[in-house]
Structure 1
Amino acid sequence: MGIPQKAARFAASRRVSAFSAVVLVVFLAPQLALRVMPSAGVTSHLVVMAALVGSSLLVFFALAWQERILPRSSNPRLVATYIGERTSVVLSSARFVSYALIVVMGAGLAVGGLSALIDLSGYGRIVLVATVIVLAFPGIFGSRPPSLVLYLGAGFSVLALAVLLIYGLIAEVSGGFSEETLAATREYMANTAQYEAGPFSLHAVALVGLLPSGMLILAIDRRSVRSEERAGNIRMQGWRAVFAFVAILITLYFESSLQMSANTRALPVLAMAYGLFGSAGHSVLSIAAIIAGMGAAVAAYGTLPRLVHDLSVDRILPRHFATENSPRPRVLAVSITAGLAALVAAVTYASQSPAMMFVFTTFAIFTLSCAAMGFRGSSILKESVSKEERARARVSRWIFGLCALCGVGVLVGIAWIRTGWAATAIVTLLIPAALLIFFRRGRVRVVRQLAATDLTAGRTLPTRVHGVVLVSALDLPTLRAVSFARAARLSSLTAVTLDFDPRATNDLRQDWRAAALPVELTVLGTPEGAGPQNIVDYVRSLRQTQRADIVMVYIPRLVPTGVWQRFFVRHSEPRIMSDLRLQDGVVIAEVPYQLQPQDEE
C-alpha cells in the first residue's frame, strides 16, 4: 500500500472516529446534566449552556491559533521539545486513556439503549463489561467495519435525533407541549430508576458542559506531522462542534420545558421520544442510541493502530511497531485498551464517572499542549533578535499561558468537586504511562548497549564463507535456493536434510542423483531421533576449525499470492530459524518462491 493510500485510510479512520464521537456526546451530555443537577431548574441548564459555550470557544481559539503558528508539528514532539520527554509520555498516555473512556461511554450508551428495550435489572454492569470486550474483537482481528458502514450507522442516529428535535421545536412553536405529552414524559421518568449518588453542586453541572470541549480537543489533537492524515481541518471540526452544541442546547431546553426530573438514569431523548411519539418512537430512538454507542466504541478501537504508529515515529514505542502489515502492534494496543476500558467499566458503572475522567484526561492534553506553546514563546524570546518574531512570541506566550492556567483550573476543579474522579483518572493514566516508560527505557538501554565505542572492532573480514541449503524435497523452491546459493560463489556448499522418514529420504536421494546437481546432499539424524538440533550441530561443526569462518544458511520459503492459498501454506516461522539465530557466525537467508495461480493448476 502506497503512502497516499495509507494517508487516505488513516484520515478516513480519524474522520469517522471524530464524527462518531460527536454523535456520542450529543446523546450523553444532556443525560449527564440531568444526573448531576441539584434540581431540574432553569439555573442548572443555564450553567451547563454557559460552560459548554465558553469552554468550547476557548478550546477552539487555542487550537486554531496553535495550528496557525505550527501547522506541521505534532503535540507529542512539541511537548517533548519544550517540556520534556517524560511529559510527552504522559500526554501520549492521556490519549490512550481518552480513547479507552470513549469505548466505555459508547458501550454505556449502547447498554442504556438496550435496557430501554429489555429489562437488564441486576445485569447492567456485566453486560457493560461484556460489551466493551466484544466490541474490541474487530480491532484485534483486523476486521473493523468499513468507514462507510460506521458513517451510515452514525447518520441513522443523527437522522432519528434530528427528526425528534425538529418535531419538538415545531410542537413548541405551535403552542407548547400538550398535557398528554407532559404526562407521558413524567410517567416515563417516574418509571426510570433514580441515580442514588446525586445530587451534585452547580460546579459539577458546569463540568458536564466541558464534555463536548473534551471531544473537540481529541478531534483536533495534532498527533501527526502530515496534515492529510489528520481528522480534518479546524473549520470542519468547528462545524461538527456547532452541530453538537445546537443539538445539546435544544435537548437541554426540552429537559426544562418537559419538566424532566433530575438525578435520573433515563436518556432525555428517549423520554422525549416516548412523550412525543409513544412506544414506536421510543423504540426507534433506543435503537439509534445502541447504534451510536457501538459505532463510537468500534471507531475508537479502530483509531488505536494509528496512535501506535505515531508513538513509534515519535520514538516513544519501538520503531518496528510502525510497520504497516504487522498485526502485533494492533493486537497489543487494542487488547490493552480493551482491558483498561473493561476495568474502568467494572469499577465505575455510572456514566458520569467515565465522562468526568474523560474531561480530566483531555484537558490534561490541552494543558500540556498550551504549556508547551507558552514555553516555546519564552524560548524564542531568549534566542531571537528579530523584533517581529519576538512580538509574536510575547503574545503567544501570554495567550497560551492563560489557556494553560484555564486547563489547570479545570483539572483542579474536578479534583475539588469529586476527588474520586480525578484519582481514578490519574490511576488509569498511570497504567499506559508505565508501559510506555517501560518500552522507552528498554529501547534506550538497547541503543546504549549497541553504541560503537571502538570503531575498529568488528571489522575483520571472514576467512571463509560456507553455505548450507536446507532441503525437504526436490521441488521448485529448493531448486531456486540451490541456484541462489551457487551464485554466491561460496567456499563450500552443502544441501542438508533430516531423515524423518526412510522412504522419503530414499526418494530424495534418487531425485537428487537424477537432477545431477553439483551440490552434495547430506542426510542428518535417524528416524528415531532426527530434529532441528542435528542441523544446529552440523552448522556449528563447520566453524570448529576456524572461528573466523561464517555459515550462510539458505531456507526456501513459499509465499502464497492468492487468497485461498493462505489456508494451505504454513505462515509460522520454522523452529530451526529461531535456533540458528542463537548461533554465532551464522547468517540466515530466506529464498522466497511466490506461488502464482498458474502454479496451482
Structure 2
Amino acid sequence: MPAFTDALKRLLVGRPVHSERLSETLLPKRIALPVFASDALSSVAYAPDEIFLTLAFAGVAALTVSPWVGLAVVFVMTIVVLSYRQNVHAYPSGGGDYEVATTNLGVPAGLTVASALLVDYVLTVAVSVSSGAQYAAAAIPGLRGYEAIAAVVVVLVLMTMNLRGVRESGAAFALPTYAFMLSIIGMGLYGFVRLALGDLPQVESAGFDIEAESQFAQGLTGLGWGFLLLRAFSSGCAALTGVEAISNGVPAFQKPKSKNAATTLALLGGIAVTMLMSIIVLAQAMGLKYAEDPATQLLRDGVPVGTSYEQHPVISQIAEALFSGFPIGFYAIAAVTGLILVLAANTAFNGFPVLGSILARDDLLPRQLHTRGDRLAYSNGIILLGGSAAALILAFNAEVTKLIQLYIVGVFISFTVSQTGMVRHWTRLLRTEVDPSARGRMQRSRVINAIGLTITGLVLLIVLATKFVRGAYLAIIAMALLYLLMLAIRRHYLRVRAELAVTDDTKNRVLPSRVHAIVLVSKIHKPTMRALAYARASRPSVLEAITVVVDPDETARLQAEWDAKDIPVPLRALDSPYREITRPVVDYVRSIRRESPRDIVVVFVPEYVVGHWWEQILHNQSALRLRTRLHYTPGVVVASVPWQLASSEGLADKEEPVAPGALRRTGTVGPFADDDTPAGR
C-alpha cells in the first residue's frame, strides 16, 4: 500500500526537486503573464455579461450606455495598474497588499487585507471554474445539471498541476492563455472591420425586446436609474480582479524582479482593457440583449420567449454571428474562452499559497503553510485553496450569478487599504529624503497612489452599496471570521513561544535528583529483552519492570519464567481488579512522582514496527492509549524501543517521515498492545 501511494504521488506530482534548484523555478515575463494575468484577462469573458445583465433591468434603452460603463471600468483599471506598479517597486518581497498595509498602517490593517485577499482567492477559483463549467455545458448538452461536479473535477486537476510546481503549471497553461488573447483581439479587429464596411451582422438576441422593471417604466430618470448604473459599474469592475496577484508574486519573477513584474502589470492592463472594450462595443453595435431571467425578461413580439430559449454568453453570441459562415472560428472562440475561464483559477493557485506562506511566517496561519513541498511549491496552501473552492462550488451549485455577488468585495478592500498604505509610505520617505530628483519621483508616486486610493475607495463604497444585500455580506462575514481566526492563531503562537522561552530560571534549574526507569512487560520475548537492554544501558538510578495482573495465573507463569531466566531486573506486578491496563500503570508512575517530585520517570515501551496498514489494526491499541495518558503527566518521559518485524523490511528506504522528526507510525505495538497480551485477548 505505501509503495502504491508513493508511485501514484510520483505519477501525479513528479519526482522531488532539490532545494538548490529553486532559482530554476523563477518565471520569465512570457510565462509570468499567463500565470499571473489569466484571472484579470478571463474576467473579459464575464464582466461584459454582468454589465449587460444589470442594465437590462431598465430595458433596451439602457443598453446604449454600456460603452460608457465600460470606459469607467477602463479608467479604474488604468489607475489601479499604475498604482500597483508603485507597489511592486516599493515592496518586492511578495507580501503585496498585506505587507504594504502591515508596514505602514499596522497589524489590524494587514490582517484586514490578508483576510480579504484569502477569501477573494477562493472566490476567484470558484467563480472562474464555475463560469467555465457553464460555458462547457452550453457547448456540451450532456453536462447540463452536472456543472458543479464538472467544476470540482477541474479544481482537482488544477490543484494537481500546481502541485507539480509554478513553472511547470505556467508552461502548461501559457498556450491557452495566449490563444485566448489572440482570439478575442482578432475577433474584435474582424468585427470592427466589418463595422467600418457596414457589414456587421446582428447577434441571435438582437430581435428581442426587454421588459423593463416597473421602476423604470417612466424612462431612464431618477435615483433608481443612477443606482442601476452604479450596479452595472460595480459588476463590470470584476474585470479588475487578479491585478493584485502580480504584487503578491514578485518573488516568482526572474531578475530584475520588480522591473519584470511592473512590465507584466502594464501588459496585463493594456491587453485587458483592449479586449473588454472590444467586446462591449461590438455587443452594443450588434444589438445584443442579455437578461438575468431570459425566459420572462426577453420578449419576442411582446411575448416572453419562455424556457425553451437558451441564452448564450455575450462572447458566444458575438462569435456565432461574426463567424456564421465559418463555424471553426466560433468553436475556436468558445473553446479558448472556456479554457481561460478555467485557467483563471491558476492565478489564485499562485497567489494564495505565497500569501499563506507569508502569513504562516508571521504566525497568523498554521506554520505548515510556510513549508515547500516536493516540487518546491507551497503544497499545503495549494491543497487548502483547492478544497475550499470545491466546497464553495458545491454549496452554490456552480451558479455564477450567485457567486459573482460575493466577488470583488475583498479585492477592492485590499486595493483601498493598500493604496492608503502606499500614500503613507511615500509621505514617510519624503520626511527624510533630501535629493531633489528622488523627492520628485516620490511625490509623483504619491500622487498616483492618492488617485488610486480615491478611485478604489469610491468603487468599494459602490460595490458595498449595490451588492451587500445580494450576497456580498457573506463574503464580509467570511473575512471577519478569518480575521478573528488569524488573531487567535497569532495569540496561540505567541503564548507558546513565551511558555517555551529559555529564561535565567530555566538555565539555572537544578538537575533531577534521580532517574527512575520502568520497562513495561506483558511477556518475555525479543522486544521486551531489547527494551530491558536499552534501559540498563541508560544507567538509571532505579530500574524495574512492571506488568499488570489481569489474569493471576498468567501473571504467575510470567513471574516464574522471569525468575527462571534470572533476568537481573526486578519485576513488579500491579493489581487490576477491573482488568484495566492503562490506569494502574499511570497511577503507579504518578505515585513515584508524588513521593520524589525531583525524580524523572522514564517509561520504556517495547514497540513492534509493522509494514502493512492492516497490521496496525491488529496491534497497538492499548499501548497508544497508555502513551497518550503518560504524555500528559509532568516529569515523565516515554521512550519507544522499536522492534522491526519482517513485514517492515525495506520500508526505511522507501518512506519518509510525516513531519520532521516524527516516527513513521506503521504500528506502535508492544506488550501492552499485542494480541497475545491480556488486553489483546
Q: TM-score range by the shorter chain?
A: 0.7 to 0.9
Tell me how many residue pairs correspond in the alignment: 589
Relative distance call for 1:20 and 1:497 in structure 2 (3 A) is farther
Residue 98 of structure 1 is matched in structure 2 by 120
Residue 437 of structure 1 is matched in structure 2 by 487
Relative distance call for 1:329 and 1:366 in structure 2 (3 A) is closer
Give the Å deviation of 1:79.
Answer: 1.9
- 8 Å Cα contact 2:608/2:643 also seen in 1: yes
Letter in 2 for 1:71: P
Give the Å deviation of 1:8.
Answer: 6.7
Give the Å deviation of 1:11.
Answer: 7.7
Match runs of 1:186-585 below 5 Å: 186=204, 201-221=228-248, 233-263=261-291, 266-275=312-321, 276=323, 288-297=336-345, 300=348, 304-319=352-367, 322-323=370-371, 335=387, 338-339=390-391, 345=396, 349=399, 351=401, 354-355=403-404, 357-380=406-429, 384=432, 386=434, 396-420=445-469, 423-444=473-494, 455=505, 459-468=509-518, 485-494=535-544, 529-554=579-604, 574-585=624-635
Q: Deviations over 1:490-522 (max 9, x none)?
A: 323456677899999999999999999866677
Relative distance call for 1:188 and 1:409 in structure 2 (3 A) is closer
- 8 Å Cα contact 2:519/2:604 also seen in 1: yes
SS in 1 for 2:365: coil
Give the Å deviation of 1:585.
Answer: 0.6
CA distance in 1, matches of 2:211, 2:555: 75
- 8 Å Cα contact 1:139/1:330 also seen in 2: no
Q: Deviations over 1:73-106 (max 9, x none)?
A: 7243432232222221111110111112212312
Give the Å deviation of 1:354.
Answer: 4.2
1:107 aligns with 2:129: yes
Residue 298 of structure 2 is matched in structure 1 by none
CA distance in 2, matches of 1:218, 1:473: 62
Letter in 2 for 1:436: M
Aligned sequence identity (%): 22
Give the Å deviation of 1:192.
Answer: 13
Letter in 1 for 2:370: A
Q: Deviations over 1:138-185 (max 9, x none)?
A: 799999577656864674475367447636744764787998x946x3
Residue 166 of structure 1 is matched in structure 2 by 186
CA distance in 2, matches of 1:503, 1:238: 85
1:59 aligns with 2:80: yes
Unaligned runs of 5+ in 2: 1-16, 217-224, 293-310, 655-681
CA distance in 2, matches of 1:296, 1:512: 70
1:83 aligns with 2:105: yes
CA distance in 1, matches of 2:371, 2:120: 24
- 8 Å Cα contact 2:126/2:390 also seen in 1: no
Relative distance call for 1:323 and 1:363 in structure 2 (3 A) is same
Letter in 1 for 2:312: A
SS in 1 for 2:638: strand
SS in 2 for 1:210: helix
Cα RMSD (Å): 5.5
| TM-score, normalised with respect to structure 1 | 0.75
Residue 35 of structure 1 is matched in structure 2 by 53
Larger Rg: 2
Q: Which moved more, 1:360-369 or 1:271-280?
A: 271-280
CA distance in 2, matches of 1:52, 1:508: 84
Give the Å deviation of 1:580.
Answer: 1.5
CA distance in 1, matches of 2:371, 2:48: 42
Give the Å deviation of 1:250.
Answer: 3.3
Letter in 1 for 2:289: S
Give the Å deviation of 1:322.
Answer: 3.4
CA distance in 1, matches of 2:526, 2:37: 52
SS in 2 for 1:263: coil
CA distance in 2, matches of 1:236, 1:376: 23
- 8 Å Cα contact 1:47/1:202 also seen in 2: no
Q: Deviations over 1:223-272 (max 9, x none)?
A: 97998999973323443444434433333343234332243663122223
- 8 Å Cα contact 1:551/1:586 also seen in 2: yes
Q: Which moved more, 1:322-331 or 1:529-538?
A: 322-331
Q: Deviations over 1:29-72 (max 9, x none)?
A: 23223323455889534324423432233222222222223333
Q: Which moved more, 1:142-151 or 1:235-244?
A: 142-151
Q: Deviations over 1:562-593 (max 9, x none)?
A: xx967866899933332122111112345678
Determine which of 14, 38, 42 is the counterpart of 1:24.
Answer: 42
Unaligned runs of 5+ in 1: none
Q: Which moved more, 1:366-375 or 1:12-21?
A: 12-21
Determine which of 614, 634, 650 is the counterpart of 1:597.
Answer: 650
- 8 Å Cα contact 1:138/1:144 also seen in 2: no
CA distance in 2, matches of 1:244, 1:69: 24
| TM-score, normalised with respect to structure 2 | 0.67
Relative distance call for 1:599 and 1:461 in structure 2 (3 A) is closer
